[in-house]
Amino acid sequence: MRIAQAEVVVTCPGRNFVTLKITTEDGVTGLGDATLNGRELAVAAYLSEHVAPVLVGRDASRIEDTWQYLFQGAYWRRGPVTMTAIAAVDTALWDIKGKVAGLPVYQLLGGACRDGVTVYGHANGDDVDELLEQVARFRDLGYRAVRVQVAVPGIEHSYGVSRDKLFYEPADAASPTQATWSTQRYLSFVPNAIGRVREEFGPELRLLHDVHHRLTPIEAARLGKALEPYGLTWLEDPVPADLQEGFRLLRQHTTVPIAVGEVFSSIWDCHQLIREQLIDYIRTTVVHAGGISHLRRIFDLAALHHVRSGSHGATDLSPVAMAAALHVDLSIPNFGLQEYMRHTDETDAVFPHTYRFEEGCLHPGEAPGLGVELDLEAAARYPYRAAQLPTNRLEDGTVHPW
């Protein structure tokens, strides 16, 4: 089963997506998401210039061998662009293997470990009252877990607060939007806001909060302690995770569960966090961390160390990545939670899919492969539009993590 063609499709049905489509000589097709928000064309060029030419003629059934060939063969290892490109190839080959076998990918991964994949949505508000309304809306839609974000008075463009409440798109301009940050204002406002949500919705609804890499370990420890009474499922990206041992300090001070990993591209970015049990949820994704094969490797290491999965699932990951994530989520023993931000109708029309949301859970469906297709005609109606993620500065003008 040789690969006959590998095409890169860039489309913008509301936001940019890069998709790799691999076709075998017998006409079986497989899809892989290759979207890296704000850097889409770098991955598209990596794939079309350097990867597609060496895929043609290779045996499509040799998934692990192809992964190793692309990873070790490039010499320049890791990094988000490389790992997103490899992920797209890996995912597309799993899709093909499933279609050839006539089985959904989760069956090839060992079969279902649960009936559905519990997901969380994003409730956010310009103030606490609007946040409470939005949490109620998500609860009424059937969600059992909700991420809560609120605008902090005095902070312009607070992270996680969106205009359209169902679809969150931070890459909102061709030149990065400028946001501001004040740790003092944030720490003095957010714990009470989350306390109000817990008080209003009772103990059962699972609540999460994303700090988006903005605190130092000791500041994050203060936040963690303040949030302990509200029983969060997780506190996400409390500090930038470049320094893995930085989490030790935070861990010594608080019992709030910690989740990190959406910006990681490999097991080497998180092995210390996992081995030392410095985190509770690893949030690597199928699209940015080397595909289904490498994500499984990370989650297997995590399973040994009491760490659960919590894959990133923002709107800037296409339905192809969402479907692939669901097959992995369904089949691993240490699944924790899956992020689920809905796509626009235009995106869903470009990527028709079999996964469905019911009573707070997603299920990938029973179609062979991933259960997602790419409508090329629809995709062609939405040309690429330059869009970058915001940057962030302190009140005195110093650059700070966004």
- Which residues are identified as catalytic? 159, 212
- Residues 6 or more apart from 247 whose CB is under 8 A from it? 217, 239, 241, 258, 260, 273, 278, 279
Among positions 146-175, residues that touch ligand CS2 (CB under 6 A) are 170
Residue 74's region, left for phi above 0, alpha for psi from -120 to 50, else beta, is alpha
What is the nearest approach in angstroms of Mg ion to the Cβ of residue 237? 5
Q: Is 40 in the site for ligand CS2 (CB under 6 A)?
A: no
Nearest to 384 by CA among 13, 8, 7, 6: 13
DSSP 338: E
List the x/- string, 362-391, binding to ligand CS2 by CB under 6 A.
Answer: ---------------------------x--
Among 40, 210, 219, 373, binds ligand CS2 (CB under 6 A): 210
List the x/- string, 314-333, binding to ligand CS2 by CB under 6 A.
Answer: x-x-----------------
Stretch that binds Mg ion, among 13-21, 204-212, 224-232, 385-393 (CB under 5 A): 204-212
Q: Which two tokens stand for residue 357?
A: 């949301």
Stretch that binds ligand CS2, among 69-77, 78-86, 312-320, 375-383 (CB under 6 A): 312-320
Closer to ligand CS2 by Cβ: residue 54 or 314: 314
Closer to Mg ion by Cβ: residue 278 or 379: 278
Closer to ligand CS2 by Cβ: residue 90 or 237: 237
Among 21, 294, 312, 353, binds ligand CS2 (CB under 6 A): 312
Q: Strand order of the sheet with strand 17-24? A: 3-11, 17-24, 29-33
Stretch that binds ligand CS2, among 80-88, 184-192, 201-209, 310-318 (CB under 6 A): 310-318
Closer to Mg ion by Cβ: residue 214 or 251: 214
Stretch that binds ligand CS2, among 17-25, 130-138, 249-257, 309-317 (CB under 6 A): 309-317
Q: Residues binding Mg ion: what is the number (CB under 5 A)?
A: 1
Q: Is 339 in the site for Mg ion (CB under 5 A)?
A: no
Closer to Mg ion by Cβ: residue 33 or 236: 236
Treating both helix axes as pointing N-terminal to C-terminal, what angle do 291-304 and 319-331 enclose, rounded to 10 degrees? 40
- Residues 6 or more apart from 192 whose CB is under 8 A from it? none
Q: Is 210 in the site for Mg ion (CB under 5 A)?
A: yes
CA distance 202 to 327: 32
Treating both helix axes as pointing N-terminal to C-terminal, what angle do 80-101 and 319-331 enclose, rounded to 10 degrees? 70
Closer to ligand CS2 by Cβ: residue 3 or 44: 44
Nearest to 340 by CA among 350, 329, 332, 349: 329
Q: Is 212 in the site for ligand CS2 (CB under 6 A)?
A: yes
Backbone angles phi, psi at 125, to 5 degrees: -150, 160
CA distance 32 to 320: 6
Q: Is 37 in the site for ligand CS2 (CB under 6 A)?
A: yes
What is the nearest approach in angstroms of ligand CS2 to the Cβ of residue 212? 6
Nearest to 322 by CA among 130, 119, 65: 119
Pairing of strands 145-150, 206-210: parallel
Q: Which two tokens stand for residue 260?
A: 């990190």
What is the nearest approach in angstroms of ligand CS2 to the Cβ of residue 312? 6
Distances (CA, A) of 202 to 131, 224, 292, 361: 15, 20, 37, 21
Among 262, 280, 329, 373, binds ligand CS2 (CB under 6 A): 262
What is the nearest approach in angstroms of Mg ion to the Cβ of residue 266? 18
CA distance 179 to 374: 35
Q: Is 288 in the site for ligand CS2 (CB under 6 A)?
A: no
Q: Residues binding ligand CS2: what is the number (CB under 6 A)?
A: 10
- Residues 6 or more apart from 103 whose CB is under 8 A from it? 368
Stretch that binds ligand CS2, among 1-9, 10-18, 308-316, 347-355 (CB under 6 A): 308-316
- Residues of this chain that bind ligand CS2 (CB under 6 A): 37, 170, 210, 212, 262, 312, 314, 316, 339, 389
- Residues of this chain that bind Mg ion (CB under 5 A): 210
